[in-house]
Amino acid sequence: MRREREAGSSRPGRRELVNGAVTAAGIVFRTSPGQVAGLVVLMLLGAAAPVGVAWLTRAALDTLASGNAAGGASALVPIVVGLAALGMVVAFVPQAEEYLRTELARRSGLRATDRLYRAVSAFTGLRRFEDPHFIDRVRLAGQSTRAPAQVVGRAVTGGRAALTLVGFMVSLAVLSPPMVAVVLAAAVPTLIAELVLSRGRASMLWRIGPAERREFFYGHLLTDPQAAKETRLYGTGAFLRGRMLAERRTADAAHRRTDRRELVTQGGLALLGAFVAGGGLVTVVAGAKGGTLTPGDLSLFIVAVAGVQTSLTSLITDIAYAHQQLLAFDHHCAVMRAGPDVPPAEVSRPAPPLRTGIEFRDVWFRYRDDHPWVVRGVTLTIPHGTSTALVGRNGAGKSTLVKLLCRFYEPTRGAIYWDGVDIRTIDPERLRERVAAVFQDFVQYDLTAAENIALGDLTALDDPFRIEDAAVRAGIHPSLARLPRGYDTLLSTLFLDETAEDADPEMGVVLSGGQWQRLALARALIRTGRDLVILDEPCAGLDAEAEYEVHAQLRRRRADGTGLLISHRLGTVRDADEIAVLDDGEVVERGRHDDLMALDGTYARLFRLQAENYHLDDVQPGAGIS
Ligand SMILES: Nc1ncnc2c1ncn2[C@@H]1O[C@H](COP(=O)(O)OP(=O)(O)OP(=O)(O)O)[C@@H](O)[C@H]1O
């Protein structure tokens, strides 16, 4: 049940809504208490002015109708001055209120955005980011960062409407008490209907989340430069566009159904309100004709009925809108409520410097309870100062072991030890500080070359020497030095560096796949002094010379660190201190290259298969196959 509330349910209960309202108010008050106070003052002015106008109008009409022209003229002066002053208040208050509300929304929206993305960054594992419900929540939460200000703004305008309502109801009660009851009774169904409608709209938005996500995905494919090659070569543009539009139609149909329901309900309720007002008017005109009411009373009645109905409608709309905003803001609150995805350590401790090594002890893992095992009882030691290679077929579980070692997931059973310390007791951030890694699916940041490297260690962001040193070691320095602005060249054709005086859209540069891979390697290498270097397929896109250089570098680096290398190119792992062969999540062979060749098992078979492609007879003795 709790999991459903966290991830999948669209219906927050009353308690969640109340908590959401308190949180929203807290965000807004902390952001700008002065502006909230300003809004309240405007609210009081805005509430009193229309009622004052109605009473002053009545007084003016009755003064004129009394026929006391001489005395009436001087009596009219303060009334007219009062009417003029109130007219100015009525004209000015909405403008000032709009300005304050918008400014408050901007400021508190910034605070809510900061709060949201802090919470998202605090998830140390990957599970949340693989949960489509959670991704929808974050998207909707990102769209509702102005909801706190909207809720407070609506509370203020609702308060104003309520005060005006009370003022007009008192006025109406003076003239026709039954009319108060009739108008109020007609308002109850409106309030209930509006609340039901706003709940319906919120759950419709939640339901169409997956369709909108897919629409975005297909739309992105149609404009993504990397996908452009395939979509053109395979001629899939029309197919993807068709799918994108189908998702859009699904979402539009849901919007249309909701709009129609709102039209029918709100239209019917508006007719009911008009019927009540018309009925009241007929009664009062009859009373005026009979002489029981003055022309001033008639004017006050007409204004009061209209005022009661307008302020009631406004109050109901404010309540319904605030309710809808609270439903939207619940996505924000749900992200905040979501507990840590990787259980926190009972006693969190820093990762000690690696002295003895890393040990996987009978580790079992599957991505979900209903998924098959991906890692089955792996027991493996990576001694300090050595290099270990993981090899095996696609899907054998190699990258998964790396992700477990970095604590992106917890083993389902068994444990991983860092110098004898269970890594579950180590703060993930401290553990990761000790690791440098290149992942198979490394990120290509649309940033400058220097930033792309420095993201490996932000302390190097303003240190061109460290950045260049990492680039040299990754063999990418000559390519970067030749770029139009050297290391400051933007590696993107999507963005323009507006801060540069000679900003030129043509200055964005596209690197080749292998160059990006070297850049990712530089990003890992800038993390000097780390205990463990993990390279998951670091050479897949590299040319033979680059691969040779990288391995020479890594051999040198191994002297002061521990290495874990994953590669399908078995020639690159042959000089590892230990090679572990994974098959279907199990370690099936372990040893040095020569031992495994002598064993004549999976490794030897795969190695010979690859070696055949190199026509070993053509290779000079001692050159190796890498
Ligand atoms: N995030 C995930 N959620 C669910 N299943 C996953 C996830 N990541 C990987 N898997 C599954 O786990 C298995 C092992 O994947 P893993 O990436 O560890 O294999 P690998 O040995 O690194 O493969 P490759 O050589 O192709 O990179 C695969 O069957 C894969 O489908």
535 inside domain? yes
Of 500, 529, 558, the residue that ends a domain is: 529
User: Do residues 370 and 464 share a domain?
Assistant: no
User: Do residues 130 and 220 share a domain?
Assistant: yes
242 inside domain? yes
Residue type, 572: T
Give me the CATH number covering residue 317. Answer: 1.20.1560.10
The residue-averaged pLDDT of 109-135 equals 90
Give me the CATH number covering residue 461. Answer: 3.40.50.300
Q: What local confidence, expressed as pLDDT, does residue 456 receive?
A: 93
Cβ count near 92 (within 10 Å): 14
Q: Which atom of ligand 1 lies at the shortest distance from residue 368's CA?
A: 4
- 3-state SS assignment for residue 618: helix
Q: In this structure, which long-range contacts are made by residues 180-188, counting pairs with CB atoms below 8 Å and at least 24 apart in sequence? A: 180/308, 182/276, 182/279, 182/280, 183/276, 183/280, 183/305, 183/308, 183/309, 183/312, 184/312, 186/272, 186/273, 186/276, 187/312, 187/316
User: Do residues 401 and 522 share a domain?
Assistant: no
Q: What local confidence, expressed as pLDDT, does residue 616 receive?
A: 52
Residue 10 scores a pLDDT above 70: no
Task: Give the ranges where 388-448 is alpha helix by DSSP (H).
Answer: 398-405, 428-433
The pick from 135, 371, 400, 534 for probing ligand 1's pocket by mutation, whose C-beta has the most ligand atoms within 8 angstroms, reads: 400
- 3-state SS assignment for residue 163: helix
105 inside domain? yes
User: Do residues 175 and 249 share a domain?
Assistant: yes
Nearest CA to ligand 1 atom 17: 399
344 inside domain? no
User: Do residues 520 and 538 share a domain?
Assistant: no
Both tokens of 462, joined, read 């303003």
User: Do residues 96 and 220 share a domain?
Assistant: yes
Average pLDDT taken over every residue of the chain: 84
Does 395 sit in the ligand 1 pocket, CB within 6 Å? yes
Task: Provide the domain count of the chain.
Answer: 3
437-459 residues labelled b (16+ CB within 10 A) or e (exposed): bbbeebebbebbbbbbbbebbee
342 inside domain? no
Alpha carbon 178 to its chain centroid, in Å, reads 52
Of 480, 504, 529, the residue that ends a domain is: 529
Cβ count near 212 (within 10 Å): 17
The pick from 399, 587, 602 for probing ligand 1's pocket by mutation, whose C-beta has the most ligand atoms within 8 angstroms, reads: 399
User: Do residues 179 and 299 share a domain?
Assistant: yes
Residue type, 236: T
380 inside domain? yes
The residue-averaged pLDDT of 253-282 equals 85
Give the Cα separation of 126 and 90 in Å (integer): 54
Residue 526 scores a pLDDT above 50: yes
Q: What residue numbers bound the domain in which 84 lies?
A: 16-337
User: Using an 8 Å Cβ cutoff, are 364 and 173 in contact?
Assistant: no
51 inside domain? yes
User: Do residues 322 and 366 share a domain?
Assistant: no
User: Do residues 111 and 181 share a domain?
Assistant: yes
Nearest CA to ligand 1 atom 19: 395
Nearest CA to ligand 1 atom 27: 394
Residue type, 356: T
Of 464, 494, 529, the residue that ends a domain is: 529
Better-predicted residue by pLDDT, 89 or 546: 89
* pLDDT tens per residue, range 299-358: 777 777 777 778 877 888 888 888 888 888 999 999 998 878 887 776 667 777 888 999
The pick from 364, 367, 402, 440 for probing ligand 1's pocket by mutation, whose C-beta has the most ligand atoms within 8 angstroms, reads: 367
User: Do residues 490 and 564 share a domain?
Assistant: no
3 inside domain? no
Give one word for 534, left, alpha or beta, with left for phi > 0 and alpha for psi -120 to 50: beta
User: Do residues 326 and 214 share a domain?
Assistant: yes
What was the ipTM of the complex prediction? 0.98
* pLDDT tens per residue, range 595-624: 999 999 999 998 888 877 665 555 444 443
Residue 359 scores a pLDDT above 90: yes
How many angstroms does the Cα of residue 393 sit away from the middle of ligand 1?
11
Model-level pTM?
0.76
Nearest CA to ligand 1 atom 2: 367
Nearest CA to ligand 1 atom 28: 395
Question: Which candidate, 150, 115, 171, 198, places its Cα nearest to that of 297?
Answer: 171
User: Do residues 125 and 182 share a domain?
Assistant: yes
Residue 53 scores a pLDDT above 60: yes
The pick from 128, 360, 374, 535 for probing ligand 1's pocket by mutation, whose C-beta has the most ligand atoms within 8 angstroms, reads: 374
